[in-house]
Amino acid sequence: MGSLSAANAQFCFDVFKEMSYDHTVENLFFSPLSLLSALAVVLFGARGDSASQMEKVLHLSELTGTGNASNAKCKQDTGIHSHIQALLSEINLSRHSQAHMASGIFAEEAHPFLPKYLDCIEQLYKLKPENLDFKNNLEEARMQINSWIEHETKGEIKGLLSPNSLTSSDQLVIVNAISFRGTWKYAFQKDQTTAMAFRLDESRSKPAQMMRLQGHFKLGSIKEPRVQVPEMPDAEDHLSMVIILPREDISLGQITKEITYEKLKSWIGPANMKDTAVVLHLPQLRLDERREDLTFILAALGMTDVFDYSRADLSGITAGRGLVVSKIIHKAVLEVTEGGSEFTLTNQTSKVENSEIFKVDRPFLFFILHKETKTILFYGRVSTP
Chain segment 120-154, per-residue pLDDT in tens = 999 888 899 999 999 999 999 999 999 999 998 88
What spatial distance separates the first Cα and last Cα of the chain, rounded to whole Å? 40
Q: So what's the pLDDT on residue 84?
A: 86
Helix/strand/coil (H/E/C) assignment for every residue in 319-353? CCCCCCEEEEEEEEEEEECCCCCHHHHHHHCCCCC
Rounded to an integer, what distance in angstroms lies between the CA atom of residue 382 and that of residue 285? Answer: 9
Instruction: Choose among 88, 104, 122, 101: nearest CA to 175.
Output: 104
CATH number of 190-283+338-382: 2.30.39.10
Q: Is residue 81 within 8 Å of residue 28, measured between CB atoms?
A: no
Cβ-defined contacts of 342-347 (< 8 Å, 24+): 343/96, 343/183, 343/235, 344/96, 344/183, 344/184, 344/185, 344/186, 344/187, 344/235, 345/187, 347/185, 347/186, 347/187, 347/215
Reported as a single tens digit per residue, the pLDDT across 362-379 is 999 999 999 888 999 999
In this structure, the number of other CB atoms found within 10 A of the CB of residue 297 comes to 20
Question: Chain centroid to CA 361: how far?
Answer: 24
Domain with CATH 3.30.497.10 in the chain: 4-182+287-334
All CATH 2.30.39.10 domain ranges in the chain, comma separated:
190-283+338-382
Pairing of strands 194-199, 239-246: unpaired
pTM for the whole structure? 0.91
Contact 27, 381 (CB under 8 A): yes
Could you list the beta-strand ranges (E) of 182-309.
194-199, 205-222, 227-233, 239-246, 273-283, 285-291
For residue 231, give the amino acid letter: E
Asked if 295 and 327 touch (Cβ cutoff 8 Å), the reply is yes
> 321, exposed or middle or buried, with CB in 10 Å at 0-12, 13-18, 19+?
middle
User: Residue 299's pLDDT is what?
Assistant: 97
Q: Hey, what CATH topology would domain 4-182+287-334 get?
A: Antithrombin; Chain I, domain 2 (3.30.497)
- Tell me which DSSP letter residue 128 carries: -
Return all residues near 22 (Cβ < 8 A) that are at least 6 apart: none
pLDDT at 95: 61
CA quadruple 118, 122, 125, 127: dihedral sign = positive
Are 312 and 50 within 8 A, CB to CB? yes
Report the C-alpha gap between 211 and 122 in whole angstroms: 42
CA 239 – CA 374 distance, rounded (Å): 9
Q: How far apart are CA 85 and CA 122, in angstroms?
A: 11
Question: Where on the phi/psi map is residue 154: left (φ > 0), alpha (ψ -120 to 50), or beta?
Answer: left
Instruction: Indicate the residue type of 38.
Output: A
Euclidean distance between CA atoms 171 and 219, whole angstroms? 49
What pLDDT does 252 receive? Answer: 87
Percent helix, strand and coil across the chain, each to the nearest 5: 30, 30, 40
Q: Beta strands 98-108 and 130-132: pairing type?
A: parallel
pLDDT recorded at residue 244: 95
**What parts of the chain have a pLDDT lower than 70?**
1-2, 23-24, 64-78, 93-97, 340-353
What is the maximal distance between C-alpha atoms in the chain? 69
Are 324 and 171 contacting, i.e. CB atoms less than 8 angstroms apart?
A: yes
Instruction: Give the separation between CA 207 and CA 24, rounded to whole angstroms.
Output: 22
Residue 49 is predicted with a pLDDT of 95
- Give me the pLDDT at residue 85, please: 83
